[in-house]
Amino acid sequence: MGHGQVPEFLKESLKFGINLGLERMEELDRILGNPEDGLKAVHIAGTNGKGSTASFICACLAEAGYKVGIYTSPYLERFSERMRIINGKEGLDRSLTDEEEGEISTEDLDRLAERVKAASDDMTSRGFEHPTEFELMTALCFLWFKENDVDIAVLETGLGGRLDSTNVISKPLATVITSIGFDHQDRLGDTIEQITAEKAGIFKEGVPVFAADPAIMLLDETSKEKVKSTLLTEAKRKNAYPVKFAGDPECEVRFTDDGRMLFEAGGEEYQTVLQGRHQAYNASVAIAVLKDVFGLSYETIRAGIDKTRWKGRAEILSSDPAVIIDGGHNVQCAQSLMSVLRQMCGARFSDLRFRVVIGVMSDKNVEGMIRTFKEAGLDPVQVYAVNVDNPRSMSPDSLSKLIRFVYNDLIMPMSFDSAEDAVSEACRKTREDGIPLLVTGSLYLIGEVRGKLCTIINNWR
């Protein structure tokens, strides 16, 4: 069974863009027989850390023997990554050596896409707006999870929460809020209170809330207080209880020689291949859910955390010479990446001298990201500004000009239309001189070049 092929109908539906609102999703679901009814779900919203938190929860539940469906977005390398079923400990162990383990097959995608298309055609024939690609995918995912009778579904919102198509789930087992920051203000609001309230739109009456403690969020003190008070106000308004905050701002992390990070949560030690203090915070939120809702033991959670994988986020593809990839697409992600590099590297990369390949989306706060790199001390030896295979990509020349502006012309980036050509050239030079290579910017860029980088690095061995 193949993976990764996108059904034509779903590709065509991308033109309907992002169109928040639940009316289309509710009608689509109704026609399909409300496949989400009866799904035991953990529902996750937030600006950053949703995918990592979902992956921690999924891995630990699978380690405990559950058949777990997980729905995340966007995908990195294969469209089918967006929905996976990890069947118990055996499935989890297989996923450590086979990245495609549990992903929906092309056959299932095509078959279910036909059902969803028929429902969509029915809707539009009666005057409804055409569902968006994300709504169609979410409906397809619900059908697939129901068909396969998953024990638990771990669902990540696409954007926001209140009007996100995943929010047709009426009675999840738990709702989870990860780190909140400024992103998608055009759709979610300009203030941190508006953004937080949109995320908190997933709260449900009588359903427990688990949230990252705002004290650990990359926000100023006033904004942290506003996030906390907004979450508590929304929980009270929805009668969602109890509310538990997780993540210790004083949490210490240590890094082992084999690329793992050690951290403490609730007085117990864990280790993970995910890098950076923010991942310890994400794990802490997941651990609270796993203990309070599912009653998992420390041993099971510890094993699940150790087996959690989440590609493309401060991921070390090679340690000698160092090649690190990170799909950080906003200012908070850039801050986290710089923090990770300092923590991870210690004396080894103390001067933050890197060869950098970067490609970004033009609708992001790109100048803010580059200023974050500069202020954190990132001192690039060479920069390759690249085009990303996405209509929203900032042109390499525009990106180069912005980097020159922020770095006061101390860096003269090279522009590449082909991201693959840029990483090939950067890898060749890093192999020669040992200068660490950092590939960063959009997740779309990481998805485009990760396979190429893995092939190059495998040939080094």
Q: In what order do the strands lie in the sheet with 174-177?
A: 83-87, 67-71, 152-156, 41-45, 174-177, 209-212, 243-246
23 in any annotated domain:
yes
In degrees rounded to 5, what are phi and psi of residue 76?
Answer: -95, -60
The answer to the question of residue 149 being in a domain is yes
Same domain, 347 and 267: no
In 3D space, the residue among 329, 336, 311 whose CA is nearest the CA of residue 55 turns out to be 311
Dump strand ranges (E) for 65-114. 67-71, 83-87
pLDDT range class, residue 166, cuts 50, 70, 90: very high
Radius of gyration of the chain (CA): 21
pLDDT score, position 97: 94
Pair (388, 254) in one structural domain: no
Query: Cα dist. 169→41, 50, 103, 327 in Å?
Result: 8, 17, 22, 29
Are both 78 and 218 inside the same structural domain? Answer: yes
Identify whether residues 233 and 327 lie together within a single domain.
Answer: no
**pLDDT over 90 (residue 332):** no
Q: Buried b / exposed e across 145-172, counting CB within 10 Å, b at 16+?
A: bbeeebbbbbbbbbbbbbbbbbbbbeeb
* The predicted structure's pLDDT at residue 159: 87
pLDDT (0 to 100) of residue 40: 98
Is residue 259 over pLDDT 80? no
> Quick check: is 177 in a domain?
yes
| Overall average pLDDT of the 280-287 stretch | 97
Instruction: Based on the fold, state whether residues 361 and 297 are members of the same structural domain.
Output: no
Give me the pLDDT at residue 276, please: 87
Full domain range(s) for residue 370: 315-460
Please report, for the domain that includes residue 124, its CATH number.
3.40.1190.10
Confidence band of 51 (pLDDT split at 50, 70, 90) = very high
Q: In the 8-state DSSP scheme, what is residue 150?
A: -
Residues 101 and 203 in one domain: yes
What are 381-401's pLDDT values in tens digits?
999 999 999 989 999 999 999
**Per-residue pLDDT tens over the stretch 87-146:** 999 999 999 999 999 999 999 999 999 999 999 999 999 999 999 999 999 999 999 999
256 & 192 share domain: yes
Q: What is the mean pLDDT of the chain?
A: 93
Of 251, 277, 306, the residue at which a domain comes to its end is 306
Shared domain for 337 and 286, answered yes or no, is no
Residues 54 and 116 both lie in one domain? yes
**Number of structural domains the chain divides into:** 2
Read off the pLDDT of each residue in 261-289 and give the average, rounded to a whole number.
Answer: 95
Quickly state the pLDDT bin for 20 (edges 50, 70, 90).
confident
pLDDT at res. 345? 66
Which among 274, 306, 338 is the end of a domain?
306
**pLDDT score recorded for residue 2:** 67
| Cα 85 from Cα 257, distance rounded (Å) | 32
114 and 221 belong to one structural domain? yes
Q: Nearest CA to 56 among 257, 247, 323?
A: 247
pTM above 0.75, yes or no: yes
Answer whether 13's CB lies under 8 Å from 132's CB.
yes
Q: Is residue 3 in a domain? A: no
How many residues make up the chain in this entry?
461
Q: Which of 306, 324, 342 is the last residue of a domain?
A: 306
- Within this chain, do residues 405 and 353 fall inside the same structural domain, yes or no? yes
The phi, psi pair for 134, rounded to 5°, reads -65, -35
When pLDDT is cut at 50, 70 and 90, the band that residue 349 belongs to is low
Q: What percent of the chain is modeled with pLDDT above 90?
A: 80
Residue 243 has pLDDT above 80, yes or no: yes
Average pLDDT of span 326-347? 82
In this structure, which amino acid lies at residue 141?
C
pLDDT at residue 329 is higher than 80 = no
CATH number at residue 330: 3.90.190.20
Q: CA–CA separation, 44 vs 209, rounded Å?
A: 10
| 355 domain residue, yes or no | yes
* Intra-chain end-to-end CA distance of the chain, in Å: 30
Comparing CA positions, the residue from 423, 45, 67, 319 lying closest to residue 203 is 45
Q: Is residue 114 part of a domain?
A: yes
Largest alpha-carbon pair distance within the chain? Answer: 65
- Tokens 């050239």, located at residue: 425
* 355 lies in the same domain as 267: no
Instruction: Locate 8 and state its tokens.
Output: 């034509």
233 in any annotated domain: yes
Task: Tell me, yes or no, whether 1 lies in a domain.
Answer: no
